[in-house]
């Protein structure tokens, strides 16, 4: 998030990024219990594993765009 919040208003951009991060954890958490009850523990586990694949793919794309020397002094 620090990499993408560059510019004149760094603190505000970082706060907005943090809010989106918290929202992305809160919304699935609100529905996780209902989904687990509908699927059962085993199928819910496999659904979570499948959803994590999207995170890995996005991380691979973002990793290519971030400078490897970012954050080093």
Residue 73 in any domain: the answer is no
Is residue 72 included in any domain, yes or no?
no
CB within 8 A of 25, min separation 6: which ones?
none
- Number of structural domains (the chain) is 1
pTM of the model: 0.60
Q: Residue 4 falls within a domain, yes or no?
A: no
Contact 47, 35 (CB under 8 A): yes
Mean pLDDT by 10-residue block, N- to C-terminus, for the chain (73 residues)?
Answer: 73 86 88 93 94 89 77 72
Q: What count of residues does the chain have?
A: 73
State both tokens at 49. 């594993």
The parent domain of residue 32 ranges over: 10-65
**In this predicted structure, what is the pLDDT of residue 44?**
94
């Amino acid at each position: 998030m620090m990499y993408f919040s560059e510019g004149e208003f760094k603190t505000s951009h970082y706060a907005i990024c943090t809010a989106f991060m918290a929202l992305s954890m809160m919304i699935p958490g609100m529905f996780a219990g209902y989904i687990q009850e509908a699927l059962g523990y085993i199928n819910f586990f496999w659904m979570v594993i499948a959803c994590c694949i999207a995170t890995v793919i996005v991380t691979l794309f973002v990793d290519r765009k971030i400078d490897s020397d970012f954050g080093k002094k």
